[in-house]
Amino acid sequence: MAQTKYEIFLKVVEMGSLTRAAEQFDYTQSAVSHAIHALESETGLRLIHRSRTGVRLTPEGEKLMPAFRRIAEAMQNYADTLEKVQGLEKGCVRIGAFNSVAVRWLPRMIKEYQQSHPQIEFRLLIGDYHDIADWFDAGSIDIGFVTRKTGLDSAVLTEDRLLAVLPKNHRLAGQAVIDPREFAGESFISLMENSNQDARSVLDLAGVQVDEKFTTKDDYAMLAMVEQGLGISIMPELLLEGRTNDVAVAEIAGAQKRTIRLALSPEGSSSPVVKNFAAFVQQWVKEKYR
Which pairs count as long-range contacts for 8-15, CB under 8 Å and 24+ apart, including other chains? 8/32, 8/35, 8/36, 9/35, 9/36, 9/39, 9/47, 9/68, 10/65, 10/68, 10/69, 10/72, 12/36, 12/48, 12/55, 13/48, 13/55, 13/57, 13/61, 13/65
* Spatial CB neighbours of 121, under 8 Å, sequence gap ≥ 6: 91, 92, 93
On the 0-12 / 13-18 / 19+ scale of CB atoms within 10 A, 200 is: middle
| Res 26: pLDDT | 80
Q: Does domain 91-290 have CATH number 3.40.190.290?
A: yes
Query: Residue 121 and residue 143: Cα distance in Å, rounded?
Result: 14
User: Across the strands, what pairs with 234?
Assistant: 164
Delimit the CATH 1.10.10.10 region(s) of the chain. Answer: 5-88
| Res 3: pLDDT | 65
Strands 211-216 and 187-191: parallel
* Consecutive 10-residue averages of pLDDT for the chain (290 residues): 78 89 86 90 90 88 91 84 67 93 95 90 93 94 92 91 95 93 92 80 90 88 94 94 90 90 92 91 87
Q: Which of 33, 35, 290 is nearest to 157 (CA)?
A: 290
Say what the pTM is.
Answer: 0.68
| Res 251: pLDDT | 94
The DSSP secondary-structure symbol of 195 reads: G
| Res 70: pLDDT | 92
- Domain 5-88 class? mainly alpha
Report helix, strand or coil for 188: strand
| Res 196: pLDDT | 78
| Res 281: pLDDT | 96
| Res 1: pLDDT | 43
Is the C-alpha dihedral spanning 69, 70, 73, 75 positive or negative? negative
| Res 290: pLDDT | 63
Delimit the CATH 3.40.190.290 region(s) of the chain. Answer: 91-290
